[in-house]
Amino acid sequence: MLSYEESLKILKETNALIEGHFILSSGLHSSQYVQCAQLLSKPSKSAKLCKSLADKIKSTFGDFDLILSPAMGGIVIGFEIGRLLGIETIFAERVNGKFELRRDFKIKKDQKVLIVEDVITTGKSSLECANLVIQAGALIIGYGCIIDRSQKKSSLKNKIISQIEINIPTYKKDEIPKDLSLIKAVKPGSRNL
Q: How many CB atoms lie within 10 A of CB 112?
A: 17
Taking alpha carbons only, the member of 104, 109, 102 closest to residue 135 is 109
More confident residue, 157 or 124: 124
Q: Domain 4-192 carries which CATH code?
A: 3.40.50.2020
Question: Are the C-beta atoms of 140 and 113 separated by less than 8 Å?
Answer: yes
Q: What is the mean pLDDT of the chain?
A: 90
At 103-136, the pLDDT tens digits run 999 999 999 999 999 988 777 888 899 999 999 9
Which has the higher per-residue pLDDT, 131 or 154?
Answer: 131
Domain ranges of the chain: 4-192
Predicted TM-score (pTM) of the model is 0.84
| Residue 120 dihedral angles phi and psi, to the nearest 5° | -110, 120
